Amino acid sequence: MRKTTLLNSEISEVISKMGHTDMLAIGDCGLPIPNETRRIDLALIKNLPTFIDTLKAVLEELQVEEIILATETREVSPKLYEEINNLLGDKKVTFVSHEQLKVNLKKCKAVVRTGEQTPYANIILKSGVVF
């Protein structure tokens, strides 16, 4: 049995195969996921699991050097943006439009779909290195 906190085998598999600058997205339940991008669907019911709980779990295993957020996240959901900032600290943040973020999903190794229903609760995590 795994020793780390992340128990989801699909997410662990994706993270273990990621290299420097590869991307993994976490999204709310309404984020349109491109057909060509792997979908890891965790959504159960409204707000379960939450975006923040899912992000916390992923951050236990994934070394992140940069995050990509929609400008709309900061503007429309400032409380969520503050929570993201508190978790990620001084990581580089690149802001793009929500439309551009959706285009960038095609470049992600996977998109983790949560039950979150907060507007613009979406993030792309760019993998760093541990050395």
Q: What are phi and psi of 63, to 5 degrees?
A: -80, 120
Q: What is the pLDDT along the chain (131 residues), one digit of tens a residue?
A: 667 889 999 999 999 999 999 999 999 999 999 999 999 999 999 999 999 999 999 999 999 999 999 999 999 999 999 999 999 989 999 999 999 999 999 999 999 999 999 999 999 999 999 99
Predicted TM-score (pTM) of the model is: 0.96
Q: How far apart are CA 61 and CA 125, in angstroms?
A: 12
Binding residues for substrate: 28, 98, 120-122
Domain boundaries, the chain: 15-127
CATH architecture of 15-127: 3-Layer(aba) Sandwich (3.40)
Q: Which residues are annotated as a binding site?
A: 28, 98, 120-122
Catalytic residues: 20
Q: Which residues lie below 8 Å from residue 89, measured CB to CB, with a gap of 6+?
A: none
- Assign 106 to helix, strand or coil: helix
